[in-house]
């Protein structure tokens, strides 16, 4: 169950807030639609519920706010806009990466791909998917961790009628298993067809909270759509004839040359136009929304609400019949009052069995369980949507029956079923639907390897890292050959392809760029942002990125030196490819340089949320920090720490077993070097800044 209380966005510049005091609830076992015109505040309300936007109010997901849930992706599946992922990553690789982040088995990716019908496209890139396939992938991402609640923003936007029926069939199948579904839409007919309950928003406030049948009766009504170049004349004639015949007819002037006639028929409107020689371009029966004034009675008085509300000014010119005392419908519309959410539904308000509540779905007589090959008796399956006693992921059922949606013939033609006719009589034809993925058992204990698995799949899932490494090797080899031809370059710098004119060698720059990619891609393509709003600033994720970037930098540094030595040997002989005499201190310095650059890129990109900022921080170390360190050490001082390294050696570097003092001495010499000291200072400052931003975000 979703319970939203007092959702209010921050006020904008001299404009009212996009969402103002919105309170509603979406019950388990049913599909709830959040209806509103573009700009009504639907997306803002969802972002406030998911804590992606600052504002006031609180939302409970089965009794807990989102920031109190340890693993939000296991409780709430979210789809806001397009699928947030790197366009060069494959569909299967993206899902497997999210499996590692959520702590679910990797085989879960193949299960949801089969359910949403993307098995044949599992090797396609995200950037090449069509709109319909992207919606399917978004639903697969939302179902990946087997969440109890689905929150979807315009899930059927730009989809065909068949794809929309498939999508809403999946949502109702999820609700039939006891889950909660909340989606937004701007189409009233779509909300009436596809939802069990409709919450209407207008200008950021709740206008109505109704069952789908009540919504169809009070908010939708048939109309005649007319398009003519003489719209004003035809409207006046229709109004005059309605007054003469004592009939209640309402004529609404739409944009352009279009009229919407309520309370009449195509035959009457066509006869009127024919008698007066009025050219008509369009004449059709439609089901239309009553518009911003739908919450008013036949006399034009606002219906009873919890608080007074000023109706929004309409841009349409309305010509109504003077017989306003004649009601349009046979039964008056009930008062529209926003339903304040309660903690738990009472016994009288408990949802009916889902198989009866939504007649678009029926269980087959013999359903095949996705977990077994044997037939499952649907009578043995529970059909009543019940709330679990304790919050947490849904308890896995022994087997799930296959749910088959019954396609509404009126939905295919765009007509709305009559509110008086039983909804179960609308089903006519069958449209096969794959079963939901089987429930999974997720261990609640956190695994220290989970962030590491995620980072490994993220780094190896696209070719950016491999292309960067190959470019570094090629540039480094060509630079080494050029330096050897020119001469005057020491052999250690020659093996590293590090000319004195450059602040850093190509390998160090490449390691820093790969480190900047580790966090920069998270903010550019926020695959983890669906359940937290931004990249989680957790120490486990940071340590995983530091560990993977350090391993990548060591591998890149080793391959660079080996490739340079091999190229120099092939071109100039053995003389330039010999191992240096002080290989230990040189190797330690080289290792510290590439690893330090990689870590500087990771931390800077995590702080400034940009790959460019991460690489700029790496380049700034030798260009800005090293001169500042030089200037600070060479400045005038009353007392100088002369002989400090020697005394430190005598105190701490006594006789270590197996010659350990040599390695510590080499590490000390690396740190006291200008580049090493500046890099260590930069890493310390960046780490402190990252921890500070992490604590600040948690306090917020």
Instruction: Give the least confident one: 101-110, 459-468, 568-577, 673-682.
Output: 673-682
Alpha helices in 103-230 (DSSP H): 107-116, 131-143, 161-176, 188-194, 212-218
pTM: 0.68
Give mean pLDDT, residues 470-479. 94
Distance, in Å, from the CA atom of 623 to the CA atom of 621, rounded to the nearest integer, reads 6
Count of Cβ atoms closer than 10 Å to residue 526 Cβ: 15
Instruction: Give the least confident one: 69-73, 217-221, 404-408.
Output: 404-408
Give mean pLDDT, residues 456-471. 93
Tokens of 488: 């005057």
pLDDT in tens, 636-648: 655 555 555 566 5
- Diameter of the chain by CA atoms? 115
Instruction: Give the least confident one: 243-252, 290-299, 377-386.
Output: 377-386
Instruction: Give the least confident one: 35-44, 188-197, 272-281, 658-667.
Output: 658-667
CA proximity to 679, closest of 494, 452, 515, 455: 515
* pLDDT above 50 (res 401): no
More confident residue, 70 or 357: 70
Task: Look at residue 444 in the predicted model and tell me its pLDDT.
Answer: 41
pLDDT in tens, 312-353: 333 333 333 333 333 333 333 333 333 333 333 333 333 333
Instruction: Answer yes or no: are the C-beta atoms of 695 and 537 closer than 8 Å.
Output: no
Tokens of 337: 């009052």
447-465 burial, b for 16+ CB within 10 Å, e for fewer?
A: eeebbbbbbbbbbebbeeb
Distance, in Å, from the CA atom of 679 to the CA atom of 673, rounded to the nearest integer, reads 10
Instruction: Answer yes or no: are the C-beta atoms of 243 and 323 closer than 8 Å.
Output: yes
Distance, in Å, from the CA atom of 226 to the CA atom of 259, rounded to the nearest integer, reads 5
Task: Look at residue 23 in the predicted model and tell me its pLDDT.
Answer: 95
- Percent of the chain whose predicted confidence (pLDDT) is above 90: 33
Instruction: Answer yes or no: are the C-beta atoms of 562 and 587 closer than 8 Å.
Output: no
User: In which order are the strands placed within the sheet that holds 361-363?
Assistant: 361-363, 403-407, 429-430
Tokens 């005499």 -> residue = 581
* pLDDT above 70 (res 362): no
Distance, in Å, from the CA atom of 41 to the CA atom of 35, rounded to the nearest integer, reads 10
Tokens of 379: 């009578």
Task: Look at residue 511 in the predicted model and tell me its pLDDT.
Answer: 94
Give mean pLDDT, residues 448-461. 87
Distance, in Å, from the CA atom of 567 to the CA atom of 573, rounded to the nearest integer, reads 9
Task: Look at residue 248 in the predicted model and tell me its pLDDT.
Answer: 86
CA separation, residue 48 to residues 8, 92, 206, 396 (Å): 8, 31, 15, 30
Give mean pLDDT, residues 256-262. 88
- Percent of the chain whose predicted confidence (pLDDT) is above 70: 69
Task: Look at residue 217 in the predicted model and tell me its pLDDT.
Answer: 77
Distance, in Å, from the CA atom of 195 to the CA atom of 528, rounded to the nearest integer, reads 29
């Amino acid at each position: 169950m979703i319970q939203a209380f007092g959702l209010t966005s921050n006020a904008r510049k001299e404009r009212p807030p996009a969402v103002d005091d919105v309170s509603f609830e979406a019950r388990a076992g049913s599909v709830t639609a959040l209806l509103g015109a573009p700009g009504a505040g639907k997306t803002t309300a969802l972002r406030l519920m998911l804590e992606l936007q600052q504002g006031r109010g609180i939302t409970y997901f089965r009794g807990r706010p989102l920031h109190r849930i340890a693993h939000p992706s296991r409780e709430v599946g979210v789809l806001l806009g397009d699928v947030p992922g790197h366009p060069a990553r494959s569909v299967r690789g993206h899902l497997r990466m999210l499996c590692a982040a959520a702590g679910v088995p990797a085989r879960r990716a193949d299960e949801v791909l089969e359910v949403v019908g993307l098995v044949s496209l599992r090797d396609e890139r995200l950037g090449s998917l069509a709109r319909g396939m992207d919606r399917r992938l978004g639903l697969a991402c939302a179902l990946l961790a087997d969440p109890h609640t689905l929150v979807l923003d315009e899930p059927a936007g730009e989809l065909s009628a068949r794809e929309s029926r498939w999508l809403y069939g999946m949502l109702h199948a999820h609700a039939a298993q006891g889950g909660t579904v909340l989606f937004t839409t701007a189409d009233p007919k779509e909300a009436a067809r596809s939802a069990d309950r409709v919450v209407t928003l207008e200008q950021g406030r709740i206008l109505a909270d109704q069952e789908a049948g009540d919504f169809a009766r009070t908010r939708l009504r048939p109309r005649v759509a007319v398009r003519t170049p003489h719209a004003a004349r035809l409207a006046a004639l229709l109004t005059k004839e309605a007054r003469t015949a004592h009939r209640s007819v309402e004529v609404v002037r739409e944009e352009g040359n279009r009229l919407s006639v309520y309370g009449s028929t195509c035959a009457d409107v066509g006869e009127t136009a024919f008698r007066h020689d009025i050219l008509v371009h369009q004449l059709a029966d439609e089901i239309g929304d009553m518009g911003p004034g739908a919450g008013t009675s036949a006399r034009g008085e606002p219906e009873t609400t919890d608080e007074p509300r000023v109706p929004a000014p309409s841009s349409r010119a309305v010509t109504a019949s003077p017989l306003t005392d004649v009601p349009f419908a046979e039964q008056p519309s009930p008062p529209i009052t926003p339903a304040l959410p309660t903690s738990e539904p009472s016994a009288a308000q408990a949802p009916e069995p889902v198989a009866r509540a939504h007649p678009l779905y029926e269980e087959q007589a013999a359903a095949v369980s996705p977990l077994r090959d044997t037939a499952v008796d649907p009578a043995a399956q529970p059909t009543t949507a019940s709330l679990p006693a304790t919050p947490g992921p849904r308890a896995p059922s022994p087997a799930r029956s296959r749910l088959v949606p019954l396609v509404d013939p009126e939905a295919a033609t765009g007509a709305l079923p009559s509110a008086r006719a039983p909804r179960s009589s609308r089903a006519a034809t069958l449209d096969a639907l794959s079963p939901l993925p089987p429930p999974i058992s997720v261990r609640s204990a956190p695994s220290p390897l989970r962030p590491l698995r995620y980072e490994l799949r993220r780094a190896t899932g696209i070719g950016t890292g491999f292309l960067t490494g190959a470019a570094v090797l090629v540039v480094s080899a060509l630079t080494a050959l050029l330096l050897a031809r020119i001469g005057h370059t020491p052999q250690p710098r020659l093996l590293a392809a590090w000319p004195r004119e450059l602040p850093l060698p190509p390998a160090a720059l490449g390691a820093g760029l790969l480190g900047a990619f580790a966090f920069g891609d998270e903010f550019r393509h926020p695959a983890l942002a669906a359940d937290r709003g931004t990249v989680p600033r957790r120490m486990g994720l940071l340590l995983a990125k530091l560990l993977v970037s350090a391993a990548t930098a060591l591998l890149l540094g080793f391959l660079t030196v080996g490739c340079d030595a091999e190229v120099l040997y092939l071109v100039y002989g053995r003389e330039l490819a010999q191992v240096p005499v002080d290989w230990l201190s040189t190797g330690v310095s080289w290792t510290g340089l590439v690893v330090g650059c990689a870590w500087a890129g990771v931390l800077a990109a995590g702080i400034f949320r940009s790959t460019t900022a991460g690489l700029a921080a790496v380049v700034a170390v030798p260009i800005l920090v090293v001169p500042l360190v030089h200037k600070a050490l060479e400045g005038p001082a009353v007392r100088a720490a002369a002989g400090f390294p020697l005394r430190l050696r005598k105190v701490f570097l006594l006789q270590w077993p197996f010659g350990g003092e040599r390695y510590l001495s080499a590490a000390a010499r690396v740190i006291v070097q200008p580049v090493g000291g500046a890099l260590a200072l930069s890493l310390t400052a960046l780490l402190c800044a990252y921890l500070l931003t992490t604590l600040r975000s948690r306090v917020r």
